[in-house]
Chains A and B, each alone.
Chain A
Amino acid sequence: GQQLNQSPQSMFIQEGEDVSMNCTSSSIFNTWLWYKQEPGEGPVLLIALYKAGELTSNGRLTAQFGITRKDSFLNISASIPSDVGIYFCAGPVNFGNEKLTFGTGTRLTIIP
């Protein structure tokens, strides 16, 4: 089946630093989704990407849909304490927003 590999697995950064994480797949995706999960909560959608090469921003977050359609990256600029959490990439197993396959996540910790 499809596998999504995220890197790094964890990050320890200082407040104000920029963050970059990526997600790669063994197969082509038509949609890339980036979610954030905080402790005790379900994931919340941050950014959705639907076209190869697409670059989309949401405030301090920017994500890109790789040209090969097998990868995506997420950048966070000027990190703040509330950015702490686990970031997951995800994509639909089949075309359309149906059941999703998720990466293993990147855990972001901010050092005061």
Chain B
Amino acid sequence: GAGVSQSPSNKVTEKGKDVELRCDPISGHTALYWYRQSLGQGLEFLIYFQGNSAPDKSGLPSDRFSAERTGGSVSTLTIQRTQQEDSAVYLCASSLTGVRNEQFFGPGTRLTVL
């Protein structure tokens, strides 16, 4: 059984460029989450998708960050005009709906902005 997959595993970009990070959740999981982990830090919530509901974007740090989820499955996190402070590991997780459902994490995408 496949877990959560993310691509690319590593991304190096120049300041000012746009990047797209992809997440493939576990099949059948209706909830999908994006988190950001800066070096030596815990995870910081970014955005949450649940079924067909409007996403909870309350964690996005600026309007340069956006995410979409197509067909209730694959999600793409886009960062426009990247800045050096965007450098971090971006983690995606998915879960079944309902209370007490475990979030399964992907391996993350390490983003480095030069």
- Chain A residues proximal to chain B, CB less than 8 Å: 4, 31, 40-45, 48, 50, 88, 90, 93, 95-105
Contacts and interface: CB of A to CB of B under 8 A. Distances in A.
Contacts of A4: 42
Q: Which DSSP category, helix, strand, loop or mixed, fits chain A's interface?
A: loop
Contacts of B45: 93, 99-101
Contacts of B56: 98-99
B103 to A, nearest CB: 7
B93 interface: yes
Contact of B102 (A42, A48, A102): A48
Contacts of B91: 42-43
B43 A88 contact: yes
B107 A40 contact: yes
Contacts of B93: 42
Contact of A42 (B48, B98, B105): B105
